[in-house]
Structure formats: C-alpha cells, structure tokens
Structure 1
Amino acid sequence: MTRFFATGKGSLMASFLLLLTLFTSSLLITDAQIGVCYGMMGNNLPSKREVVDLYRANNIRRMRLYDPNQEALDALRNSGIELMLGIPNDNLQNLAASRANADQWAQRFVFNYYPSVNIKYIAVGNEVNPVGGSSWAARYVLPAIQNVYQAIRARGLHDQIKVSTAIDTTLIGTSYPPSKGSFRNDVRSYLNPIIGYLVYANAPLLANVYPYFAYKGNPRDISLSYALFNSPNVVVQDGSRGYQNLFDAMLDSIHAALDSTGIGYVKVVVSESGWPSAGEFGATYDNAETYLDNLIRHVNRGTPMRPGPIETYVFAMFDENQKNPELERHFGLFYPNKQKKYPFGFGA
C-alpha cells in the first residue's frame, strides 16, 4: 500500500476512488439485505401512505406485512419496496380447503397488485407449532402453501414469488453446538413434508431468530456481549468454526437442522429479528440500540456455516401499543410519530 501511494497524486486519487467505490458498494449490499416488519397493532400509527413514505425516506427497501392489508398494498404501488406478504394463521384453513379458495385469494391480493407491488415472498402462516398453542393450524400449513403455490405457478410467477412459511426457533431440539442442530422429534412429521416442498419449489424457509429471548431465558450461560454482537473473542468453538455472536450460532443451528434431514438444500431468510427497548429483563434502550445497529451491519457477512449475505427483516417498524404482553410493545425502530427511536440508519 505504501508503494502504491508513493507513485504520485494520480495513483492516490485512483486509490481513493477505488476505496470509495468499494465502501459504497458494501453499503448498498448491506442495505439490500435488510427489511423491516410493518406491524399495525397500534391505535396511534401513521397512515399506510405515510409509512411507505417513511420506508423510502430511510432507504428501507424491503417490508414484511403480516396480512394483506389493501390500503398498505395500494400505498406500496410503484414504491420499489420488495414485499414479504403474510397470510395470518386464521386464514390457513380456508386456503387449505381448496385450490379455488387459493386462486381467489391470489387474484385479490397478489395478481391485482403485482408487479406494481413488488411481491417477493408469501409467508403462509407465522410460527405455527404442531405441539404448541397453534397446533390446530398445523394440519393446514402445507396444503395452504401448496394451493397458493399452484395459484402462483398457474400465472408463471413461481420463480418471481416464492411461497413459504415462517417458523420460530422453538422447533429446534438441539442447537449446541450449531453443527449438531436438529429439529425436535415431535415436529419432524410436520416439518419434513414442508422442507420437501421448499426443495421442490426452490423456496427459502423463513425463520424468526431472536437472540434476545435466548439470552433472557438463560443469562447465566449466555453473556450479554455474545447476544449483542459485542464479544471480542470466539465464544463457541465448533470444530473449525468459531462463533462470536449468538445470532450466527442460532441461524447455523437451523442450517444444520435442515441439512440433517437429508431432504435437500434449503436457504434460510431471517423473517424477524429484534430487541425490545423496555418491558422485561435485558430490554433496555442501550441494548436494543446496540443489537439492532450491529445486526444491520452484520447481515452482509454471513455465518461461519454459510458465508454470504443474510436476507433479514428487523422487527419492527413501530412500537405497537395494542400488543401484549408489555414487552411486545417496545420493538419499534420508530415511534408512532415517525421519529427515529435510534440514531442509526440504513445507508445512503
């Protein structure tokens, strides 16, 4: 580097421009990996049009919607924002019942908007657990996915719009070390056919990954610095792979769990990750600011098991005052008055 600079002003300027280009490219790549979840469970939130404008003003290029709110879809037209469109759990039975129902749903909420609304994913159900409180919905997830997929495929859009479902990490039975990650035995009969579909359709699994809840549940064994991406050294050595943050370890345990089924390769998109600023143990403004800032910076790097950008949706856009328990009201990046809660941004 010293020899390069010593050749004169022209070389110095060339070097500067090269570094500036690389830095700018890095920012754009990082920005492109980050989306933000738009929840609406508040009685003091801005209009849907104002929210879309706020996304654009802050260079947030991806949005997750939890249901096909038509006012939000109208506001998204020609915005350039990529969309993960959710189907709530209470709609799954209807969509699983018949292909005709799925065709009707797709016409109303997808084909009437696409491509002016850039729908990239359809998330069929969220955090359905076959042995948990949402067990009633488990039987409907795969047939609903298949019916919606066939509706999308019939229009020739199955390569542009991927149909999947969002899981949480409670379905993981073994997560330590990450390379030994595996799904719980009591959910395998539910998950394996879904994974088979994802392989067939070349669609990613959507996963909600929250180091906060892992830390809150076991602060004795999980250090705060490890959960916040702040650990200066490797905390978990897993063979040749070293883990300095819990997010990578959790995500790689999902990668390993998918691989261990032997069904085929499936990419993972992080459909939620966040840290609350109040409401319970470890939920402070400083912790949330640190986690979210570091997460946004980190996603371009990949994990030890799967290097490369990690498409990630931050939870959530706003504090939502109608959610329960109290903790759930404090995940916002913005206050309902559209002011930033934290000083960081998403690049230029």
Structure 2
Amino acid sequence: MAVTGNRIISPMVLLGLLIMASMDFSVAQIGVCYGRNGNGLPSNPSQVVALYNQNNIRRMRIYDPHQPTLQALSGSNIELILGVPNADLQSIASSQANANTWVQNNVRNHPNVRFRYIAVGNEVSPIRQDTSQYVNFVLPALQNINNAISAAGLGTRIRVSTSIDTGVLGTSYPPADGAFRSDVNGFLNPIIRFLANSGAPLLVNIYPYFSYIDNPRDINLQYALFTSDGIVVPGGVRYQNLFYAILDAMYAAVERSGGPNVEIVVSESGWPSAGSSVATVENSRLYNTNLIRRARDGTPRRPGRAIETYIFSMLDEDQRNPEIERNFGIFRSNGQNKYPISFN
C-alpha cells in the first residue's frame, strides 16, 4: 500500500496513476479504424499496413483478433487497439482460463505487435436491442482479460477497457450537465469504477454526424463540421464545435459516475461521404481534416490536452448495415484516396 497525505492508495490505483502520468497529452494522437466488412478490399492485410505507413498513420483499431492482420502488424511499430468481439464476451466472462487462453493466442503470441488497448466489447448497452444480451458479461470479461494481461507481465504496457457510444447519455446539454441515462447507470457505474482503479481510459465512439442528422433544426451543420465560430452554452462557455461539446458531456457523465480521473479515448469518429444530403465527399474531408487539427487542442473541460482519437474508418465497407455506415472510409475499398488528407 502507498500512502499520500492521510490517504492510503492501493497498488492498483497507484499503478493507474503512474500509467496516466506517463501518457503524452501534448500532441495530437490520431489513429484510424480498420474493418473488413466489405467486398473489393485489399486481399492481404499487409497491403493495408503499408497504406497506414505510407500515410504516416501510427495507430490502428481492429475489432477482432484477425490473425493475418496481427501478423502483418508485427514489427510495424503501429500501436493497436485490439477488440474482443461481443460474441466472445460470455466465454471470457465465465472463465479466467478462457481469458488467459485468449490473451495467449492473440497477444502473447504476437510479441512484436505494439498493443495499446484491449477493447472488451463494442457499444454494449442495456438500451440497444442488438447488444443488450451482452450486458452482464462486460465487467467480468474486463476483469478476466485484465487479470490475464497483468499475469503476463503486460499490465504497464496494455490497458483494458470497453467501447461505448453516446446513446448512453441522458443529458448532454449544456455539456457541464452531462449525465448517463438512469437505465444504464447500473451497467456503467461499476465499469467506470473498474477503469478508475486500473488507470485505463474509457473508449467512446463519438459521431457529430448522427447528432446533426437526428436534430438538424437545432444543430448548425458548420458547428458539426468544425467550420463555425462556435456557440456560447449556458454557463458562459464557448464551444467551437459539436465534437468538443459531446466529449465534454461524456466527461461530465463519467465524473458523476465515480471516475473524475478517468480519461476518454475517442475510439471512433468520422463523417460519411455518401448516403444522405450532408454525407458528401467534401463534408467528409472537412470533418476528418478538422478533426485531426482540433484533436491537438483539448476541450473546454480538458484544455491543452490532446485528444487521442481514431477515425472511422480506413476503407469503405459495403457489407456494413445500415447503409450509411458503408461510406465512412477515408479511402475507397480498393485503397484509393477519396480526398487529400494529412496525418503529419
């Protein structure tokens, strides 16, 4: 046990504080998500890794432990968010041995891959019909994977979290009043406490596009695209863009749920290039280019702290549903540029 002032800090909390202290928040930290739900994609993941390297993209998120992709990443120096698929959560939650085997097969067997986070489940929520069946498995799966990572001696290098979406917010405006819905608190509060104790960030998928589409009467398109002068919210704080406002609402909600020191990593964000009147190549270019720039600055609630962000996605994926999700790629399915974009 470590002691500071009159407080006793457990070894797990101390480790978490040391990990957070070691993180570099002074520069933009941009990655790109790589999914494989499409036709006409590069047949070999090594081609995709080469595309990352050619564009100076140093971080990647994948959604399952696809062995050819892990092999292609070996020695690449690209940092990785590795996903535990929702369908695997029950097995991992039910047995520490199963979690140990998963970590052995998908992490320890790839010593030359730079794993950054393990995302245990994606967008699981009691209010989502497509993921509510996994709710009871997320926390025990988190605990078992974290135990396996620690037992492997990787606890200071790899942090274990889960990825949620912003549909769990009950209050989001003004951002300082951000709070989770009452019907998700029982699910999220123990997860937030787990992250607070382990020092891992919460992974959050944030899409101003969908916020705008759901409420175009009250949300200005330029505000969503980072191209307005911003708005002053109740309380007198100026928000220059909707992305910052949503992120700060999530920070406020996390703080209210017992995680005042839990950082947020934006594990998905992007803008589609087709599929609606505002889903155009130009708007996609504007959003993603400005996102890269704005991620350097921090939000009003976390000023001066660059926002680790993963753009969704690397390639168009024509097998995704709903249809709008098929057009989020920075590159077309064959790897051709849609528009100029710089990650330098």
TM-score of the superposition, structure 1-length normalised? 0.89
Q: Which residue of 1 aligns with 2:106?
A: 109
Q: CA deviation at 1:261?
A: 2.0
State the 4+ residue runs in structure 1 displaced beyond 4 angstroms: 28-32
Farther off after superposition, 92-101 or 272-281: 272-281
Q: Could you tell me how far apart the structure 1 residues matched to 2:234 and 2:228 are?
A: 16
Q: Which residue of 1 aligns with 2:8?
A: none
Would you say 1:92 and 2:83 are equivalent positions?
no
Q: Could you tell me how far apart the structure 1 residues matched to 2:343 and 2:124 are?
A: 31
> CA-atom RMSD, angstroms?
1.4
CA shift in 2, pair 1:30/1:335, >3 Å: farther
Partner-residue secondary structure (3-state), 1:255: helix
The counterpart of 2:293, out of the listed 278, 294, 297, is: 297
Q: Choose between structure 1 and 2: higher helix proportion.
A: 1
Does the 8 Å CA contact 2:285/2:339 hold for their aligned counterparts? yes
Q: Could you tell me how far apart the structure 1 residues matched to 2:151 and 2:80 are?
A: 21
Q: Could you tell me how far apart the structure 1 residues matched to 2:187 and 2:277 are?
A: 33
Q: Could you tell me how far apart the structure 1 residues matched to 2:262 and 2:272 are?
A: 30
Matches within 5 A, 1:239-250: 239-250=235-246
Does the 8 Å CA contact 1:241/1:305 hold for their aligned counterparts? no
Q: Which residue of 2 aligns with 1:211?
A: 208
Q: Which residue of 1 aligns with 2:325?
A: 328
1:258-291 CA deviation, whole Å, 9 max, x = no partner?
1112344200000000000111242111111111
Q: Could you tell me how far apart the structure 1 residues matched to 2:109 and 2:251 are?
A: 35
Q: Could you tell me how far apart the structure 2 residues matched to 1:158 and 1:148 are?
A: 11
Farther off after superposition, 276-285 or 208-217: 276-285
Tell me, which stretches of 5 or more residues in structure 1 are unaligned?
1-27
1:112-149 CA deviation, whole Å, 9 max, x = no partner?
113x1000000000000112211110000000000000
Matches within 5 A, 1:1-348: 33-46=29-42, 47-114=44-111, 116-133=112-129, 134-232=131-229, 234-307=230-303, 308-347=305-344
1:281-305 CA deviation, whole Å, 9 max, x = no partner?
4211111111111001110101010
Q: Which residue type is aligned with residue 137 of structure 1?
A: Y
Q: Could you tell me how far apart the structure 1 residues matched to 2:171 and 2:25 are?
A: 32
1:181-201 CA deviation, whole Å, 9 max, x = no partner?
000000000000000100110
Partner-residue secondary structure (3-state), 1:60: coil
Does the 8 Å CA contact 2:28/2:292 hold for their aligned counterparts? no
Q: CA deviation at 1:336?
A: 2.0
The count of residues paired between Structure 1 and Structure 2 equals 318
CA shift in 2, pair 1:45/1:93, >3 Å: same
Q: Could you tell me how far apart the structure 2 residues matched to 1:169 and 1:130 are?
A: 13
Partner-residue secondary structure (3-state), 2:76: coil
Tell me, which stretches of 5 or more residues in structure 2 are unaligned?
1-23
Q: CA deviation at 1:237?
A: 2.5
Q: Could you tell me how far apart the structure 2 residues matched to 1:118 and 1:299 are?
A: 22
Q: Which residue type is aligned with residue 128 of structure 2?
A: G
Q: Which residue type is aligned with residue 219 of structure 1?
A: P
Q: Could you tell me how far apart the structure 2 residues matched to 1:178 and 1:129 are?
A: 21
1:54-104 CA deviation, whole Å, 9 max, x = no partner?
101100000000000000000000001000000111110010010000000
CA shift in 2, pair 1:67/1:126, >3 Å: same
Q: CA deviation at 1:239?
A: 2.3
Partner-residue secondary structure (3-state), 1:282: coil
Q: Could you tell me how far apart the structure 1 residues matched to 2:26 and 2:109 are?
A: 31
Does the 8 Å CA contact 1:149/1:163 hold for their aligned counterparts? yes
Partner-residue secondary structure (3-state), 1:186: coil
Q: Bigger radius of gyration, 1 or 2?
A: 1
Partner-residue secondary structure (3-state), 2:310: strand
Q: CA deviation at 1:339?
A: 1.4
TM-score of the superposition, structure 2-length normalised? 0.90
Q: Could you tell me how far apart the structure 2 residues matched to 1:166 and 1:328 are?
A: 18
Q: Could you tell me how far apart the structure 1 residues matched to 2:27 and 2:61 are?
A: 15
Partner-residue secondary structure (3-state), 1:121: strand
Partner-residue secondary structure (3-state), 2:57: coil
